Amino acid sequence: MTLPEGLSWAQAGGLVAVSFLTSAWTAAVGLGGGLILLSIMGLLLPPATLLPVHGAVQALSNGGRAMLLIRDISWPTIGWFIPGTAIGIAIGATMAVALPVEIFRAAIGGYIIVTAWRKLNLPLGASGWTMLLGGLLSGAVSTVVGASGPLTISIFRQAGLTPGALLATSALSMLLQHTGKVFAFVVLGVEVYSWAPFIVLMAASGFVGTAVGVQLQRRMSTMQFAWSLKWMLTVAGILLIYRR
């Protein structure tokens, strides 16, 4: 296998190992791995290819997680959430220009922290329309901020999903969201084909990590899962608020 220009075998091996660890972490507690992986990849990959390569790896990793947890996916929730996401991505392109990113990040970060510790009594409850609006918001955040995983998890928590359903439904939503973003980069002419073998290698490592993380999650009690998720959402919200 030929590595992309500028990437050494040592760096590639390190990223493959990080892909395993972050995928295991995400599969166990639901979030955090993607943000960690993005920050580390950002140190080594060219800016022009960072987001599409990261998106492709995340799409494949989340696809593996969704496949392993397919029996737990809440299909009614996804059925409402994904159309909203598509609309949100389109709206997000406009918001990215009209709204200061710092304000948007602070608002979303605050929302994530609040919902981590208190289930909100939303006006529409946990209805399909709530998930549609949640998908719209998640799609917009994905476009403007680039980190919608914590927000998506917090939205699905409002629906009262079980830990397994929460992880599985989030994985499928992230698969579809990342796939759409990668497709958009390709349409815009970003060259990612030379990275394909490396992407597959990282995704394979991520799949193994996902399998390990799923087993860890199944051994966790509901209370342990809820406690871990609350703290991870809190940290993610703080990082989002103070991200530069």
Q: Tokens 């990082």 appear where?
A: 239
What is the enclosing helix (H) or strand (E) of 68? helix 47-68
Domain annotation covers residue 174 = yes
How many domains is the chain partitioned into structurally?
Answer: 1
Cβ–Cβ under 8 Å, residues 178 and 58: yes
Strand, coil or helix: 225: helix
Domain annotation covers residue 59 = yes
Domain annotation covers residue 4 = no
CA dist 200 and 75 (Å) reads 28
Predicted confidence (pLDDT) per residue in 19-36, tens digit: 998 888 777 776 667 777
Q: Which range, 15-19, 93-97, 112-116, is most confident? A: 15-19
Report the mean per-residue pLDDT for the chain.
78
Domain annotation covers residue 3 = no
Domain annotation covers residue 1 = no
Give the domain range for residue 175.
Answer: 10-242
Rounded alpha-carbon distances, angstroms, from residue 212 to 23, 65, 201: 9, 11, 17
Domain annotation covers residue 126 = yes
Nearest residue to 205 via CA among 28, 14, 46: 14
Predicted confidence (pLDDT) per residue in 209-238, tens digit: 888 887 877 776 666 666 776 777 777 778
CA dist 174 and 65 (Å) reads 10
Residue 124: what pLDDT? 46
Q: Burial of 117 by CB count in 10 Å (0-12 exposed, 13-18 middle, 19+ buried)?
A: exposed
pTM here is: 0.73
